[in-house]
Structure 1
Amino acid sequence: MSVNRIRRRNLLVLLSFILVLVMAACENAGNGGVSGNADVPEAAPSPSSAVDGAGGDADADMTEKPVKIGFAMDTLVEERWLKDRDLFRESVEALGAEVEISASNGDDAVQIMQAESMISAGIDLLVIVPHNAEATAAIVKKAHSSGVKVIAYDRLVKNAEIDLYVSFDNVRVGELQAQAITKLVPKGKYVYIGGAETDNNAHLFKDGVFNVLQPMIDSGDITVVYDQWTTDWTPANARANMEEALRANNNQIDAVIAANDATAGGVIAALEAQGLAGRIPVAGQDADLAAAQRIVGGTQTMTVYKPIHTLTLKAAELAVMMAKGEIPDTDRKVNNGKIEVPSVLLAPISVDKSNMDATIIADGFHAKEDVYRHAESE
């Protein structure tokens, strides 16, 4: 055998040996570094091994980010909005999504800036509690230009192509207030202390109240001697309104309907200063703890309970669904001045001393010891 042939044979043997080593090393690496005959799960295919884009979808599933919801709130000053914030966050996170929350403390410019910041940061859907029903139309326009849908939470955004409205039947809230008070005072001088004129809900509450009062006004049984909005819903402004109503009528007032429990608190403070608290029926709504305490204590007649846990859960479910591209099935529409907005409206509940335990307390909205603590200490 020639020297050249021997050299070629040795080179082939060497190359074969190297090839065996390389193949063994690759097999060992593919098995996660485990040698022998142990059963090892087959390694997931790399994106580059995909055919016709199938691997691309798998890779997208592996790296898919959770849905992110923005919640742009008006205020956290009132007790109920703290509950909305906390319960909404819990509901969204329970659905596997993320939530970013802001509160503008009643400043339209701040609310718009906060919403725009969330949109720019890449939220998938915006839920908004508008401070000003008209001004927040700019937020809806900005969101839509960025491909982000918008849900109006509890308060309607006016003159905007809002995608969904989730709230309670707020006209019904006002009707429940008026029905409760007119049952006690079918004739006499009435005072209406409204909410913030910039809040569309305040108008809906008032519509409901006057749906009930108007026939009695027309018959002459009821006279509304004072009717005023309350700037920013604050108890101090509501008290000032009630003080003015008392002065103008020489304290001769028979009943008061206040747009919510915070304004009712201001009304009752004004009545207390004149020794009239507990003698003049007062209606509110929101089922605030202080209102529940006033009801069992006898200075507030009733409130309207809107189960916030139901609202937050429903809003969270719809927000996550829509953020994923799904279209919710709704059977109600509310006109906001521009379009008929698809709406989900939940039922409110009238609450007084007789059904406090069966509603607010039974639902765990307030603890019984908290509601009755003040009354028991007197």
Structure 2
Amino acid sequence: MEPIWSRMVKLLGVLFAACLLAACNGGEPEAQKETPVPSETEKEGPIKIGFSMDTLKEERWLKDRDLFREAAKARGAEVEIVAANGNDALQISQAETLIQRGIDVLVIVPHNAEATAAIVHKAHKAGIKVIAYDRLVKNAAIDLYVSFDNEQVGKLQAQAILEAVPKGNYVYIGGAPTDNNVHLIKKGVLDVLQPAIDRGDIKIVYDQWTEDWAPENALANMAEALKANNNQIDAVIAANDATAGGVIKALEAQGLSGEIPVAGQDAELAAVQRIVTGTQTMTVYKPIQNLTTQVAELAIQLAKGEEVMTSVSVNNGKTEVPSILLAPTAVNAGNLADTVIADGFHSKDEVYQEAGK
């Protein structure tokens, strides 16, 4: 039989080890100690939103940046904004940096709809949800897509120009082919024009994309269209106001500015001033404040793990993406006051006085 003194030594050793363990656990036995699991809806500190933008070279995107920052800040969130200015590799690198800095949700305006799928994969590996802002990311399981109805944008453009020029030679100056929106816009344009094309009333005599949405590329395209058709052009539909600006410069060089109807999109200040002076026929107004407000609210919901309900989805080549599509508005000289000015998008002085009217 083991001596009593030996058993007492062993018992004291066990008691001493138990006391040490209890001290390390704040005085509670290990079996009773509970480690709290942080809830998705109880994050410490403000929500951190990463906003990866394609470019800040155009007036429209400067507005998006400023309005989104304001909307997020008003809701208690922090925003870190980066812009790649059309560089795919830089946009991916910038997004990786945002992910490494511990953002809670990523909002992305893709330059290249295909290339930015890599960003979505990296974010998801880090447990970060992704919202495609204004432009769809292709072939990736993005969590949400929020934009305007881009097919409707094209339809509004075509309806306005068809009303002005029911018969004649049309030029189509598209946007950057890497942007999924341009394909949707063009589809909307053709949906409206196709019956007139089939009747022979309209002939599209020139159709070209504009690399990187650059106005100088649109100018070169329009100059080429005029030369190829001996200036016999009756109407132009441009994918946005920046490209419309390039188109109008090419028309000015031929003494045709104000003679040929031109459509654009985005309601940029320069464009609405051109509408006032008669060199641009119309633009499509997309209330950016509605977009930025909705995305800021939705980003915070996703970061908290809350469910976002949508009524539509858009196929991006990989999945049906839950989507919210806002309504655009056609703007011409007759409704400037009731649209962009009434909303405070541009002031009356900016629109009329700076246009010289």
Q: Quick check: TM above 0.5?
A: yes
Note the alpha carbon deviations across 1:52-77, whole angstroms, 9 max, x for none.
8899699x999922110100000000
2:330 counterpart residue number:
350
Corresponding residue to 1:302 among 272, 282, 294: 282
1:52-201 alignment, distance < 5 Å: 64-201=44-181
CA drift at 1:374: 3.5
Note the alpha carbon deviations across 1:229-265, whole angstroms, 9 max, x for none.
0000011000000000000000000000000000000
- What is the SS of the residue equivalent to 1:189? strand
| Counterpart code for 2:203 | T
| Counterpart code for 1:110 | L
**Whole-angstrom CA distance in 2 between matches of 1:174 and 1:62:** 43
1:38 counterpart residue number:
none
1:207 counterpart residue number:
187
CA drift at 1:376: 2.8
**Whole-angstrom CA distance in 1 between matches of 2:78 and 2:320:** 30
Q: Is the 8 A contact 2:42 2:304 kept in 1?
A: no
- What is the SS of the residue equivalent to 1:253? coil
**Whole-angstrom CA distance in 2 between matches of 1:272 and 1:136:** 38
**Whole-angstrom CA distance in 1 between matches of 2:355 and 2:45:** 51
Q: Is the 8 A contact 1:297 1:374 kept in 2?
A: no
Note the alpha carbon deviations across 1:122-152, whole angstroms, 9 max, x for none.
1010000000000000000111111111000
**Whole-angstrom CA distance in 2 between matches of 1:348 and 1:188:** 27
1:288 counterpart residue number:
268
- What is the SS of the residue equivalent to 1:275? coil
Q: Is the 8 A contact 2:147 2:325 kept in 1?
A: yes
**Whole-angstrom CA distance in 2 between matches of 1:212 and 1:54:** 65
1:223 counterpart residue number:
203
**Whole-angstrom CA distance in 2 between matches of 1:301 and 1:100:** 38
- What is the SS of the residue equivalent to 1:256? strand
Corresponding residue to 2:318 among 324, 338, 344: 338
- What is the SS of the residue equivalent to 2:113? coil
Are 1:261 and 2:250 matched, yes or no?
no
Note the aligned Cα RMSD (angstroms). Answer: 2.1
**Whole-angstrom CA distance in 2 between matches of 1:260 and 1:86:** 20
1:374 counterpart residue number:
354
Note the alpha carbon deviations across 1:169-203, whole angstroms, 9 max, x for none.
00000000000000111110000000000000111
**Whole-angstrom CA distance in 1 between matches of 2:314 and 2:160:** 26
**Whole-angstrom CA distance in 1 between matches of 2:339 and 2:93:** 39
Change in Cα spacing, 1:56 to 1:338, as seen in structure 2 (3 Å) is: closer
- What is the SS of the residue equivalent to 1:375? coil
- What is the SS of the residue equivalent to 1:376? coil
Q: Is the 8 A contact 1:191 1:224 kept in 2?
A: yes
**Whole-angstrom CA distance in 1 between matches of 2:110 and 2:158:** 26
| Counterpart code for 2:81 | I
Q: What stretches of structure 1 of length at least 5 have no aligned partner?
A: 1-47
**Whole-angstrom CA distance in 2 between matches of 1:71 and 1:325:** 19
Q: Is the 8 A contact 1:152 1:166 kept in 2?
A: yes
**Whole-angstrom CA distance in 2 between matches of 1:218 and 1:374:** 42
| Counterpart code for 1:135 | A
2:251 counterpart residue number:
271
Q: Is the 8 A contact 2:108 2:132 kept in 1?
A: yes
| Counterpart code for 2:213 | W
Q: Is the 8 A contact 1:49 1:55 kept in 2?
A: no
Aligned structure 1 segments of 4 or more residues deviating by more than 6 angstroms: 52-58, 60-63
Q: Is the 8 A contact 2:196 2:202 kept in 1?
A: yes
TM-score normalized by structure 2?
0.89
Aligned sequence identity (%): 70
Question: Number of residue pairs matched?
Answer: 330
**Whole-angstrom CA distance in 2 between matches of 1:282 and 1:251:** 15
**Whole-angstrom CA distance in 1 between matches of 2:154 and 2:126:** 37
Q: Is the 8 A contact 2:140 2:316 kept in 1?
A: yes
CA drift at 1:375: 3.4
Q: Is the 8 A contact 2:105 2:299 kept in 1?
A: yes
Q: Is the 8 A contact 2:41 2:304 kept in 1?
A: no
**Whole-angstrom CA distance in 2 between matches of 1:113 and 1:374:** 40
Q: Is the 8 A contact 2:48 2:103 kept in 1?
A: yes
| Counterpart code for 1:230 | T
**Whole-angstrom CA distance in 2 between matches of 1:49 and 1:240:** 78
CA drift at 1:215: 1.1
